[in-house]
Amino acid sequence: MESKRQQKFAGVIQEDLAAIFQREGMNYLPNTLVTITKVRVTPDLAIARIFLSFFGNTTNVQQSLQTIKLHASEIRYKLGARIKDQVRIIPQLEFFVDDTSEYVERMDKIFDKISKEERQPDTEAE
């Protein structure tokens, strides 16, 4: 479970990274909207795990993630310029694909399939 300090720090990182991607995301991935869905920070605040979702260019999500990872040091530098007065250290950034929407979609299909099947009558007699 994350402490209040970790949650607050993750919120700061998420907000500032969102602004960076909104302003300069087209430089990294043209025609793609990058959304930061979740940020998790280690207890020592040294590593931030950023979960991203990509809209627009969904043909190759892994390639988009690799492009972001190639620019991780540049993104970290820009993040540092924004939060330098609020933190002691700028965390290392680790990027991951957030597949929550795919999971929800898959579960919805399963539930739809179950609801369309005929119900078996209860065999237990009371």
C-alpha distances (whole Å) from 111 to each of 38, 85, 100, 108, 117 are 26, 49, 16, 5, 10
12, with CB counted inside 10 A (0-12, 13-18, 19+), is middle
First to last CA, the chain: 46
Q: What is the pLDDT along the chain (126 residues), one digit of tens a residue?
A: 788 999 999 999 999 999 999 998 888 888 888 889 999 999 999 999 999 988 876 568 888 889 999 999 999 999 999 998 888 889 999 999 987 777 777 888 888 888 887 766 666 655
Domain range list for the chain: 4-116
pLDDT of residue 124: 61
Q: How many CB atoms lie within 10 A of CB 66?
A: 11
Please tell me the CATH code under which domain 4-116 is placed. Answer: 3.30.300.20
Full-model pTM: 0.77
pLDDT of residue 113: 84
CA-atom Rg of the chain in angstroms: 20
